[in-house]
Structure 1
Amino acid sequence: MSKLVWVLLPLAAYALYVAVSAWRGRAPSRVALNVQTSLLLLVYLLATAGLGVFWVANQQLPVFDWHYLFGYGTLLLVSVHLLFNLPQVLRGLRRASPPATGNVRRARTTLARALAIVAALGLAFFLGVRHGASELAVRWDGGASTAGPVDAVVRYHAFSSESRRRQFERAPGVDWGAPPPAFKRYPAAPHRPLARDGGRERSLDEALRAPAERRVPLTLAELGELLYLSAGVTARRGGLALRAAPSSGALFPSELYLIVRRVEGLPAGLYHYDAERHRLAALGAPPQDLGTPGLEDADAVVVLTAVFRRTGYKYRDRAYRYAVADAGHLLENLRLAGHRAGMAVTFAGRFDEARSAAALGVDGVEEGVLAVAALHSATGAAPRPAAPPRGWFAAPPFPAGPAVGVTGMAHLATSLRWTPDGVGDGDIALPAPVPAAAGVADTLVKRRSQRRFLDRPVPLAALSSLLADVAQPPQLSDALRLYLVVNRVAGLGPGVYRYRPGHALQRVRDGDFAAAARSAALSQDVIGEAAVVLLLSAERGALLAEGARGYRHGYLEAGMLGQRWLLGAVARGLAACPVGGFYDDEAAALIGVDGRREWVLHFAALGWPAP
C-alpha cells in the first residue's frame, strides 16, 4: 500500500468505529471522543517527531515522506482536538463559564466549526497547488532557427524558479503518479555479470588532467570497474541503494546504455547497465544510427538517459534541472573512471536525441537521452581531428502536449535533429559543381566590383559551382545562412531560395522579386538589375551563443563568404558586386524571416558583366 494509505489507516479505523457505534445507538460521549482523539493525537505527534529526528540524523528523504504525511495527520487531529476543547479555552480566557444550552445548538455549533476548519484547509490546499497556474505558450517549427527553443528554455527557467514572492505561481500541472521503480530492468534479456578490476590506482589530480596511457583494448572486468565507479551501488542505507554519483533526493533518474565495439571478453552489441545487480543486459546488435556522427571509431559509446518521473514525482517542475545536474555528476565520474582505466572520454556536444532514443528502444520523452560519450584507448598520440559531419543539426518540431509537461518541453527545446547530407523532400537538387580552373593570383588581381549587368540568364551549372565555392566549412561562425533572389537563371524559376546543406535549394517564395530586392537595397540598380542576388543572414541566437564576440565573427564570416562569391564569379567569367547598404526590415521580409531573430548581414549581386 502507498504511504498515504498507511498514514490514514488508523484515522479511517477510528472513524469507522465511531460511525458503527453511532449506528448501533452507542455513540461515544463527548468526553470519550476527546480522550480517544487525544490519544490518537499523541501517537501521531510521537510518530511525526520520531521520524523528524530520524530524518535529520540520517538525511533519508523517504523517511521525510513519512514525516510530512504523519504531520498532515497530526494537523487533522489537532483540528479535531481544538474543536472539542476550544470552548473551554475561550471560557478560561474570558474567566467565565456560560454553558451551551441544548443538544441541537451544540451540534450545530460543532458542525459549523468542523466545516470552517475543512474549508480553511481546502482553501490552503487550493492556494498552494493551483493558484496562479498558467501555461507556457511556447511553440516552434522544426528547422535551423533556435529562437523558439531558446525562448522555451528561458520560460521554463522562469517557471521553475523559486522565490519567496512567487510561491503561488505554478507551471501546468502534470499527473506524475506514483514513483517509478528505482532501477530499470530487462528481465527477458540475456545478462552478463560484471566483475571489478581495480587495476593500477591513480591520484585524483592525475585523473582530472588526462587519461593513463594504454595500447590494448579495455577488458570486461575493467569495463565493470568503470561502470561501478560511474553509477554503481556503493552503499545501502535506510532502504536506499546509494550510488557512486549523488542525486537530488536520492532518486537517481539516470540510466546507462553501452554500444560496445572493442571490449575484450564482451561481444559487440547494445547493452544496458543494471546497477542494482552490477551486470549488463544484452539488448541486441550495435545500432547503425545513433544520431551522433563521428563516433564510429570509438571502442565503446556510453549513452546516458534520464527517467524524468523518478525526479518529477517529488520535485515537479524543477525535475529537468535536477535530472540534468544529476547526469553531470555521473558524467564526471565516468570521465575520471575512464581516465583511470586509460580511456579517453569524449562527450558529444551535438546529437539527435530522437535517433539516439530510437536506437536504444526508449520513447525519448518519459525517458530522454541527455548525453553521449565515446571511449577510446589512450595511446599517447595526438588525437585525430574528427572529419566534419556530412549534414546539419536543427531544432526538432514541437509535438502537441509533451507527456511530462514543462519538463518534456525543456528536454525537447534542448534537443537537436540531425539531417544527413542529401536532398530533402521538396528541395531542388543542383547539378554537380565544376571546379574553377583560374589561378588564385590571376583571379585576385582581376577582381573588380561590377555594377552593370547584361539582361542575360546565368547558367544553373555556373550558379551551382559558385555556391559550392561559397559553402566551405565555417572559419569563425557557423550561424550564417545563404539565400538567393533569382531573377534570371536558366533552368530555375524566379523566386527566393535558401541554399541547403547537401547542395540543394529550398524554395522560399515564388515570383519576381527584383523590384523588392532593389527597394530593400536602398533602390540601388546594381541589385535590381542583377541576375542573382546573394543575401547572407545570421540566426541571432546562434550568432551570440558565445557572447558579443560572435557579432564580430558573424560579419567576418559574411565577408569571407562574400569574397568567395566575388572570386568564384570572376573565375567563371561572371561579375559580382557586394552591397552593404540596405533596409534591414525589408531585407528580412524579402527572404521571409523574422528580422528580430534573424539578421541580414550582406548583399551581393551576380550577373554577366555589361560592356
Structure 2
Amino acid sequence: MDKSPGKTAQDRVRQYHQRSKHHLNHYARGPGGLDWATQPDPFRRYAGCDYVGLPLTADSLQTSYPALYRPQVIPPQPLALETVAALFELSFGISAWKQYGGTRWALRCNPSSGNLHPTEAYCVSPNLPGLPAGVYHYVSDDHRLEQRCRFPQNFPEQALSKGGIVLGLSSIHWREAWKYGERAYRYCQHDVGHAIAAVVYAAATLGWSIRILPNWSDDDIAALLGLNRDADYQGAEREHPDLMLLVGPDLDDFKPRSAEPWLAGAEAGQWQGQANALSSHHRFEWPIIEEVAEACRKPTTQETPWCAPPLPGPLPTRDRFLAVNLIRQRRSAQSLDGVTAIPAPTFFRMLEMTLPRPGCPPWMAWPWAPRIHLVLFVHRVEGLSPGLYLLMRRPDVPLRVALGEEFLWQHPEHCPDHLALYQLVEGDARRAAGIISCHQAIAADGAFSLGMIGEFEAAISEGPWGYRRLFWEAGLIGQILYLEAEAAGVRGTGIGCYFDDAMHQTLGLRETQFQSIYHFTLGGPLEDTRLQTLPSYAHLPERRRASSFPFKRAGRERLHP
C-alpha cells in the first residue's frame, strides 16, 4: 500500500478496497491453497486466568420470535449471572457440533466467513453475585468467562454502567487471512456486523436494550479490554479493537457515555492471563491488512445518533418458534435446490425487516443512518416477475441518478408503500447472479439473491473508520436475513466471494460513489446427509447443563398463523 506523505487515510482505504477486489479474470491475492498444518485454533484462551463457568440457562426463555418485534410484551429480566450467561449462550455460544468421519467442528450462533470466527467477545461487569466487577473474555467452547482484570474492591460502583454491562468486540485478522489472504479484512468486518446483530437478538429475548457506544476510540477499547498489553500476547496473534456496546434491562436514560470510568477501573485493576497462539507459524503474511486497519483506526468522536422514521407494524410471519430455537437452528446453506419458491408477502416481510425500525432488533443498537442498499436478483418469488430489483433503504439516496433512467424503475404491484422497491430489469437473472457471485450456483438456485451496495465515498468522507461500518451494517442485514429465512422455512447464506466491478457494471456504476460490500442468497436447502449433528454442550458438567433460572413470563399473546 502506498503510504507516501501525500496519501490520506481515505486514500489508503480506497487503495485497499480496489486491491482486494475479485475480478472476472483474476482473484484478490490469497494463499492459493489451504495449509492445514497452520489452521488457526478456533478458540482463544488466556492461560492463568480465574474463570466463571456459566450455567446454560437459555432453555428457560419462552420469548417467541414474533415477540422480538413487539418489545413492550417482553418483561425485562434482571441483570444477574444467569441472564448474562443466556446472553452469551445465544450470541456467541456453540449451537451444535458437526462431524464427518474423524473430523468434528463447532457451529456458533453468530455466523462467520468460512466458519473461522475472527470475532472475540468480552464483557465489563459491575459486581454481580458470582461475577466480581472486572473485565472478562468469553470462551464459547467451555461457555465460561475468563477474568482478565479484577477491579479494585473499593472501586465506586456508580462509576460503571447503571443497569447493564458493557460488551466489547475485537477481531483476530489472522483467522480469516489464513484462508482468504488480503480480502480477509473485509470478512472480519462482516463478522463484526453479524456479531452485533447476534448480541441484539439475544438481548431482545431477555427484554433488554442495547446501544453501541459510538464515541469511543479504538485506543480506549484496547486499553479497557487489555488488547494493548504487549506482554500478554507474546508469541500470540493480536486482536484489533472493534466496538463497545452497553447491554441491560434499564437503558431508558441512555446517553453516549465517556470511556473514563471504565478505563479508571482497568488502570487500577489486577490483570492476568496469557493469550494462546492460534497457529504454530504463519506460512503467509498479508501486511496490507494491518495497513488498512491502521488507516481505519478510530479516534474519540462526538456523534449525533440518527433517528429512524416511524414505520407501520411488521408484516406477519408464519413462524411460531421460540426465539431461542430459531437462533440456535440458524445455519449457512451449503447448496440450494433450485426449485423452492417463496410467496411475495414473505419476500416483502424479509425486505422490510432490513429497514431501521425504532426500538426493534437489531436496529435498536444502530446509531447511524443507513448506507447499504439492496440489489436483488429475483428468481422464484410467487407474484413477482423474475428480474433485477433495487431496494433503497434510505429513499433520499441519489441511486437513481447514479444508475440512470434506462432501467424500468417500476414499483411492484401489492408492494407496501413504505418499501422503496423498484424493478429495474425484467427477465431471467439467474445466470448473471451466478457469474457475479464467483460462478457459484448457489446465487442462482435460491428464491432470490442480492448484492449490498454501500455509499462508499460518503462513508469514508466522515472518517476512514466509516469503511468498517459499511461492512458492519451489511453484516447486520445478513443476520436479519438468516433468521427471516429460518422463520420462513428456507435457509440463507452470506456470499463474500463476488466480482465487485462486474456487479457495478451490471448496474451502470462507473465511479466509486457506490461499491458492492456483501452478497447473500436464500432458498430451499439441500442437506448433506453425510454429516452428523451433535449437541452443543454435552461435554459440560451436568450441573451446568441442567441449570435453570426463574425468568419472568410474558402474558398470553396471539401469534400470527
TM-score normalised by structure 2 residue count: 0.42
Q: Which has the larger radius of gyration?
A: 1
- In proportion to residue count, which structure has more helix? 1
